[in-house]
Every structure is written in structure tokens, then in C-alpha cells.
Amino acid sequence: MNRSEASARSILTGVLERQQTAIAERWVQVQMERGEVGGGLAEDELREEADALVAALSSGLAGDLPVERVVAQHRQLHDAVTDLSMRRARAGTSPTATSLAVLSLKEALLACVAEESLDTRGSLAVARVVNRLVDAAGALSFETYVEGREEIIRRQNRQLMELSTPVVQLWREILAVPLIGNLDTARSQVVMENLLEAIQEHEAAVAIIDITGVPTVDTSVAQHLMQTVKAVRLMGADCVISGIRPGIAQTIVQLGIDLSGIQTRATLADALETAMGLTGQRAPYAPEHP
Amino acid sequence: MTHPGEEAHHGGESADAGWALETSEAARSYPVRTEADLLTVRHAVRDATEELGFSLVDQTRVVTAASELVRNAYVHGGGGTLFIDPLRQARGVGIRLVVTDEGPGIEDARQAIVDGFTTGSGLGHGLGGARRLMHTFEVHSVPGKGTMVTAVRWTDR
Ligand SMILES: Nc1ncnc2c1ncn2[C@@H]1O[C@H](COP(=O)(O)OP(=O)(O)OP(=O)(O)O)[C@@H](O)[C@H]1O
Ligand SMILES: [Mg+2]
């Protein structure tokens, strides 16, 4: 670190210490004017955010981490930046608006520095330090924002998967999972977990997996089904697969997949009848047969 | 040496991958890079077979075969491309699927087609199954260069 940078840093540290409140206030003002907020963040929330970040910046700069590493390595500052970005990602603020909001801290800082009477050389050196700091904060913010969005997408995906794989109790001791759509590895994992939990919870003896709504049964889907059946059996329950349409039956045969160890039925009604038999229960009415 | 409806070619016949892509001008290509692409291409094959007038059961056969081949390209070949080639010829209407990848290739294609053979954690029924679901089936593979599988099914046989 050269001398002009060292003195610029100490000037900036001084400004931050003396004008913390003013800087935070100004930063909020700039953000409000630019309309960069969006996503339902109120002024007092912005203010809280700004106070925390400016305080962290002040303490980070007062410490002895080099300028280029302060944002990444000063715990409090790092967290203030990631909190701000995560909050905006969750609030649905756009990535541009989030970056601009962080970058507008430059403006607030420089405006307050301008009130110190510095010579051109001095202000230039301070501006350089401000730039490096805020650019690093901008980069960290963007990275966090993207991670935040991805986390949201993952969570929503999982919620969607769980919604689309309901386990329903059809009868005493009999559960069914009507599968609809594509049964990939992730989804079959969710199905398996939900089913096993439900078996335990309902003390079920038979689980029916209905694949009427699964458009393609290839070797990978078949393998997922077989693994699910195996897991159900390990829990001491029986498993019946229903909803095997003629086209699917023929393709399964042509794929050379042996489902002979698994009970399969054409319709859910047939499967229920089988399940009643397996649990020694009798339907209150005779199931209709065409 | 060749099974009916299947030929296994080995060795580099030409400078690059060792084969030429034979698709008509009507062929469309689809990338197979992600798990989500597998779903997209299944839909594309379903639509193409429906438009060509395949019966429901045959649509399912072709879609399932395509699913096996693109999954292989994705899992074993590190990603690739599917070409869907609608065939409208004097001899009839059909569909040609060509799946290519630039992965590690298959050491011994004849062995790979045998049911139960797998180098992964699958059932090892993908290639053999796809072959039975289609009318013609060819595997061209050059170890270290990649794999191309071509399969055709006609509507009226
Ligand atoms: N595109 C490819 N690139 C490299 N190797 C391949 C490719 N396609 C198939 N193979 C090899 O051939 C073997 C058999 O393929 P096949 O599709 O029959 O079974 P699998 O993919 O292992 O299991 P699954 O039954 O789930 O399809 C694979 O395990 C792999 O070693
Ligand atoms: Mg396979």
C-alpha cells in the first residue's frame, strides 16, 4: 500500500466515523430518487439496511485488512452486503436495481467526502479507494443475489414437486400415490420419501403407485419404480403398481424389463381391490367389472 | 457379423468422428445438455410422431426409444444432439432418430446392446430395448471420439 492510498484511507475512515448518519441518510435518498428500490422495501427498512452497512464499512476500514479484501473478509461488512442482496432477491427486486442500489453508495460517500476541503490529488486518491470498495461490494452483492434467486427457484421446484406427488389414504391401511408427469431422479426421490413417511404415519400395509399420468416409462423410470417398490417392502408393506396402459405394457415388454415380481394392475380400482384382498378387508360393495 | 437391423462399426473411417451424418433437409436438431432437455426432446418426438400419423402405441414406442438414446448421450456421452428426421418416401412414412455425442464412445457396441450390460448404475436395457422398439438400429462409435446411434421406425409395419 503506497502512502497516498494510506492517507486516502485514513481520510475516508475519518469521514465515515464523523458522518455515518449523514452518509446513510444520503444513500437512502439517492436510492429513493432513482426509484431503484421496488419490491416493497419501505423507507425505514432501507434506512436500517443503510445504517448497518455504513457502520460495517466504517469499522472494516478502520481495521487493518487491505482495501481490496475488506468487503470479502470483514465479517460484519460481508454480512451486511449479503443481507441486503438476499433481502432484495427475496423481495423480487431486479438484478439491475440491486446492483445500482449498491453502486449508488459511491455517490453518497463521494458527496460527503466533497465536504472535506481536500486538494485535487487528495480527492482523487479518496475516490479511488471508494471505487474499489464499492465495486467489490457490488460484485459480492450480485453473486449473492444470483444465489438467492437460485435458492428460491430450488425451493419452489421442491414445493411444486411435493404438491404434484400427494400421498392419499384410500382405505384403512391402504395408501395411493397418483403420479402425474415426468418421473425423473429428483422427483422419484421425493415420491419415495413422502410415501415411506406416509406408510409409517398411517401404519399402512399396502401402497398403490398409480402411473396413469406418467407419459413415458423408459428403463430409467422403470428402475425408479422398482427401487420405490423395494423400499416399500423393506418397511414391511406391499406395493401395487396401477395405471399400466396397453402401450406402456408393450414398451415395458420390449424394453425387456421384468416386472413379474411386482404386482401390477390396469386400473386404480383393480389395484384397490387387490389391496383390500391383501389386507383381508372386504369392500362394502362388489367392485364393478365391465 | 451384423444382427438384423443393427450394425456395429468400429475404427475411424474418416478424419474426425469417423462417420457422416445422414439426415434429410427436413431434419431438426435438439440439444441434449441438461436433464430438462430430456423432457423437451421427448415432447418433440411425441409431436413429430403424432404429426406423421403413428398410432398411439407406436408413438409411445418411438418416444421411449428416443428417451433411452438421449439419456445415454446425456449420461454416458456427456451431452449431445438429437436429430428428428421425418421420412416421407415412396416406401412409406416413418421417422429417423439420430443421436450423436462426442463422449468417450463405446468399447464394444455388440456387448453394450446385450440386455443387462451396463457400465453405470442403470438396468442395462436401454440400447437393447431401443433396438427392439425400432425397425432399424445402428450404433457407430469410436472410442475417444463419440457415438452416433441411428434408428428408424415406419408407420405401416
Ligand atoms: N452414448 C454413449 N456413450 C458412451 N457409452 C455408451 C453410450 N450409450 C451407451 N453406452 C454404454 O453402453 C452401456 C449400455 O447402455 P444401455 O443404455 O443399454 O444401459 P444403461 O444406460 O447402462 O442403463 P439403462 O438401462 O438405464 O439404459 C452403458 O452402460 C454404457 O457403458
Ligand atoms: Mg441407457
How many helices (H) and strands (E) would you count in chain B?
A: 4, 6
B126 lines ligand 1 (CB under 6 A): yes
Q: How far apart are CA B81 and CA B99, in angstroms?
A: 6
The strand order across the sheet containing B80-89 reads B6-9, B136-142, B146-154, B92-101, B80-89, B28-32
Q: Per this entry, what is the length of chain A?
A: 290
The per-residue pLDDT for range A169-188, each reduced to its tens digit, is 999 999 999 998 888 888 88
What is the DSSP code string of B67-82?
A: HHHHHHHHHTSSSEEE
| Cell numbers 383390500: residue | A276
The per-residue pLDDT for range A184-206, each reduced to its tens digit, is 888 889 899 999 999 999 999 99
Q: What percent of chain A has pLDDT over 70?
A: 94
Task: Quickly state the pLDDT bin for A22 (edges 50, 70, 90).
Answer: very high
In degrees and rounded to multiples of 5, residue A63 shows phi and psi of -80, -165
> What are the chain A neighbours of B5 within 8 Å (beta carbons)?
none
Which pairing describes strands A263-265 and B92-101: parallel, antiparallel, or unpaired?
unpaired
Q: Where are the domains of chain B?
A: 25-154
B118 lines ligand 1 (CB under 6 A): yes
Task: Quickly state the pLDDT bin for B8 (edges 50, 70, 90).
Answer: very low
Q: Which CATH number fits domain A168-278: 3.50.50.100, 3.40.140.10, 3.30.750.24, 3.30.360.10?
A: 3.30.750.24
**3-state DSSP assignment of residue A235:** coil
Using the predicted structure, report yes or no on whether residue B3 has a pLDDT greater than 50: no
What is the DSSP code string of B13-56?
A: -SSSSSS-----TT-EEEEE-SHHHHHHHHHHHHHHHHHHT--H
A227 Cβ under 8 Å from any chain B Cβ: no
Give the angle A251-A257-A259 at the CA atoms, nearest 5°: 105
Helix crossing, A43-62 with A3-34: angle to 10°?
180
C-beta atoms of A251 and B64 within 8 A: yes
C-beta atoms of A256 and B129 within 8 A: yes
B123 lines ligand 1 (CB under 6 A): yes
List the single best residue of A219, A227, A262 to mutate versus B (max B Cβ within 10 A): A219
Q: Which of B67, B68, B72 to mutate to test the pocket of ligand 1 (most atoms within 8 A of CB)?
A: B72
> How many residue pairs bridge chain A and chain B with CB atoms within 8 Å of each other?
65
Q: Residue A244: which of A261, A259, A229 has the closest Cα?
A: A259
* CA dist list (Å): B137 to A68, A155, A227, B9, B152: 60, 42, 30, 12, 7
Query: For residues A168-201, b (16+ Cβ closer than 10 Å) or e, as one string?
Result: eebbebbbbbbbeebbbeebbeebbebbbebbee
The per-residue pLDDT for range B56-91, each reduced to its tens digit, is 999 999 999 999 999 999 999 999 999 999 999 998
The rounded Cα A160 to chain-centroid distance in angstroms is: 12
Among partner residues B56, B64, B115, which is closest to A216 by beta-carbon distance?
Answer: B64
A255 lines ligand 1 (CB under 6 A): no
> What are the chain B neighbours of A217 within 8 Å (beta carbons)?
64
Q: CB-based contacts of B63: which residues, under 8 Å, 6+ apart?
A: A215, A216, B42, B45, B46, B49
Q: pTM of the entire structure?
A: 0.68
The per-residue pLDDT for range A67-114, each reduced to its tens digit, is 989 999 999 999 999 999 998 888 888 888 888 889 999 999 999 898
Helix/strand/coil percentages in chain A, nearest 5: 65, 10, 25
Task: Quickly state the pLDDT bin for A32 (edges 50, 70, 90).
Answer: confident
Q: What is the pLDDT of residue B17?
A: 53
CATH class of the domain comprising B25-154: alpha beta
> What are the chain A neighbours of B46 within 8 Å (beta carbons)?
215
**Contact B98/B147 with Cβ under 8 angstroms?**
no
CATH number at A2-158: 1.10.490.10
What is the pLDDT of chain A when averaged over all its residues? 89
Structure letter (DSSP) for residue A42: -
Which pairing describes strands B80-89 and B28-32: parallel, antiparallel, or unpaired?
antiparallel
**Contact A197/A165 with Cβ under 8 angstroms?**
no
The per-residue pLDDT for range B9-56, each reduced to its tens digit, is 333 333 355 577 788 888 899 999 998 899 999 999 999 999 999 999
Give the angle A187-A192-A197 at the CA atoms, nearest 5°: 130
Q: What is the pLDDT of residue A287?
A: 55
Among partner residues A250, A251, A256, which is closest to B128 by beta-carbon distance?
Answer: A256
**Contact A99/A93 with Cβ under 8 angstroms?**
no
Residue with CA nearest ligand 1 atom 17? B126
Residues of chain A with CATH 1.10.490.10: 2-158
| Cell numbers 401395487: residue | A240
Task: Quickly state the pLDDT bin for B1 (edges 50, 70, 90).
Answer: very low
Residues of chain A with CATH 3.30.750.24: 168-278
Q: Which residues are in the CB-under-5-Å shell of ion ligand 2?
A: B 72, 126
Ligand nearest to the CA of B115: 1
